[in-house]
């Protein structure tokens, strides 16, 4: 009996992305993607500090002949805008990459970095400090990002402990259920704390929940970098295993992936990255789902391409959103979380409709 190669009614049309696995080697696509998306990430980071409600001169900002205390342009560039742009780049990159990892780990394209309760844990930590703490600073840092980091790590630890059993691989179903339940539980605690708070504290809480890149200096960014570096170092070894995990844990195992090691690594790295991002800028929603999906439309679904492209595009996306937030109603600034949610909400619905 001969084996037919193409079923009737099925054309052999090429698929969506610009390059296909059959037509171009992965090396060429990876180089092209990192070059293009790297340029895309750098451009808004260079442009954004120059744009705002107050016009500044780049030449004057870098003019060393003017004392810094007298150089308003330099102060706006280096103190007000540059830390904000760098925060946007770090947070956008981190959330987008964590979104890619979570979606592959949970085998669910609609998962986000916040699906497993990390943001709710961070929010609870931040809100407890805003409402009850009298501590103004811890070393050179504000206690709010430290508390939100502690909350995020605590939430991750609880979900991890619930989803793992000695000698068994991680259950992604339990992971998802534990995360969603923890999200609800922490949200209830947040409401309770808000009920106990006064108006000023409630306003600060709501403002934190909207997300904000105005970290007020380089100290907080630098403090978050070790976590970000560790996360990205783990991300670097994951992509091919993520491809196989997204096909199925058993398939991944029989193709040579150590599932018992890779699943916890993916969860821990994504949780660390998300914790760092949320402690820096609050829970900025939708970056972790919009960016990976936009990237997949352009480069395909291979995680060796999607992960670096999303990390770079995420930086460009959030810096761009923040530019809109700073300028659209200037001199009033819209919280960047509002902008990402206004873009992300309709996009999420479009994704749901497209998938159905």
Partner 1 sequence: MLRAEAVSFAYGAGTAFSLTDATVAITPGSLTGLLGPNGCGKTTLLKLLCGVLRPQSGRVMLGERPLASMARRELARHVAVVPQETHPAFEYSVMEMVLMGRHPHLGSFQLEGPADFEIARQSLEATGTAPLADRNYMTLSGGEKQRVVIASALAQATELLLLDEPTASLDLGYQLEVATLLARLNHERKVTMVLATHDLNLAASLCDRLVVMRGGRVLAQGTTRDVLTGAMVRQLYDVDADVQFHQRAGHLTVVPVSRIPGPVSYHTAPPS
Report residue 15 as tokens.
């698929």
Which position has the token pair 């706006």?
Answer: 76
Backbone angles phi, psi at 258, to 5 degrees: -80, 90
Q: Is 75 in the site for partner 1 (CB under 8 A)?
A: no
Binding segment (CB under 8 A) for partner 1, from list 7-15, 52-60, 199-207, 263-271? 7-15
177 lies in the binding site for partner 1 (CB under 8 A): no
Binding of partner 1 by 356 (CB under 8 A): no
Q: Are 278 and 127 in contact (CB under 8 A)?
A: no
Please tell me the distance from the alpha carbon of residue 303 to that of residue 309, in angstroms, as a whole number: 9
Contact with partner 1 (CB under 8 A) among 63, 251, 328, 346: 251
Q: Interface with partner 1 by CB under 8 A: which range of 2-10, 224-232, 274-282, 327-335?
A: 2-10
- Pairwise CA distance, residues 128 & 130, whole Å: 6
Q: Is 5 exposed, middle or buried (0-12, 13-18, 19+ CB in 10 A)?
A: exposed
- Considering the rule CB under 8 A, would residue 35 count as an interface residue with partner 1? no
* 230, 247, 268, 324: residue in contact with partner 1 (rule CB under 8 A): 247
Name the one range near partner 1 by CB under 8 A: 84-92, 126-134, 146-154, 249-257.
249-257
Report how far residue 153's alpha carbon sits from residue 172's, in angstroms, rounded to the nearest whole number. 19
> What six digits make up the tokens of 253?
């195992």
**Binder to partner 1 among 87, 112, 224, 243 (CB under 8 A)?**
243
Nearer to partner 1, 64 or 355 (CB): 355
161 belongs to the binding site for partner 1 (CB under 8 A): no
Interaction residues for partner 1, span 103-132 (CB under 8 A): 103-104, 107-109
Q: Rounded CA gap, 247 and 242, in Å?
A: 9
Which of 158/257 has CB closer to partner 1? 257
Q: Terminal CA-to-CA distance of the chain, rounded, Å?
A: 38
Residue 133 vs 251, nearer CB to partner 1: 251
Q: How far is the CB of 225 from partner 1 (least distance, A)?
A: 23
CA-closest candidate to residue 129, choices 152, 156, 155, 151: 151
3-state secondary structure of 322: helix
Q: Which residues bind partner 1 (CB under 8 A)?
A: 1, 3-7, 10, 12-15, 20-23, 25-27, 30, 103-104, 107-109, 236-237, 240-241, 243-244, 246-248, 250-251, 253-259, 296, 300-302, 304
């Amino acid at each position: 009996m001969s084996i037919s190669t193409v079923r009737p009614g099925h054309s052999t049309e090429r698929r969506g992305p610009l390059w296909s696995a059959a037509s171009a080697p992965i090396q060429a696509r990876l180089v092209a993607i990192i070059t293009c998306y790297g340029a895309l990430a750098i451009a808004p980071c260079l442009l954004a500090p120059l744009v705002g409600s107050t016009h500044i001169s780049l030449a004057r900002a870098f003019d060393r002949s003017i004392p810094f205390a007298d150089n308003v342009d330099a102060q706006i560039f280096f103190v007000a805008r540059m830390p904000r742009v760098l925060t946007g780049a770090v947070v956008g990159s981190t959330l987008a990459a964590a979104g890619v990892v979570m979606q592959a780990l949970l085998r669910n394209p609609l998962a986000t970095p916040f699906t497993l309760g990390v943001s709710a844990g961070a929010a609870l930590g931040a809100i407890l400090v805003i409402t009850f703490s009298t501590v103004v600073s811890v070393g050179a840092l504000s206690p709010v990002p430290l508390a939100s980091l502690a909350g995020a790590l605590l939430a991750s630890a609880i979900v991890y402990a619930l989803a793992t059993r000695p000698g068994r691989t991680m259950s992604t179903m339990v992971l998802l259920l534990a995360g969603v339940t923890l999200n609800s539980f922490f949200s209830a605690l947040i409401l309770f704390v808000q009920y106990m708070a006064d108006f000023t504290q409630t306003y600060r809480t709501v403002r934190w929940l909207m997300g904000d890149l105005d970290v007020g200096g380089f100290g907080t960014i630098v403090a978050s970098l070790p976590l970000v570096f560790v996360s990205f170092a783990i991300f670097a070894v994951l992509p091919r295993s993520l491809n196989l995990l997204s096909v199925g844990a058993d398939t991944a195992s029989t193709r040579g992936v150590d599932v018992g090691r890779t699943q916890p690594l993916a969860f821990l790295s994504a949780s660390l990255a998300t914790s760092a991002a949320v402690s820096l800028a609050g829970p900025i929603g939708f970056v972790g789902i919009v960016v990976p999906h936009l990237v997949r439309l352009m480069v395909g679904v291979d995680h060796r391409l999607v992960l670096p492209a999303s990390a770079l595009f995420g930086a460009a996306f959030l810096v761009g959103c923040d530019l809109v937030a700073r300028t659209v109603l200037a001199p009033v600034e819209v919280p960047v979380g509002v902008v990402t949610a206004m873009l992300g909400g309709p996009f999420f619905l479009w994704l749901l409709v497209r998938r159905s």
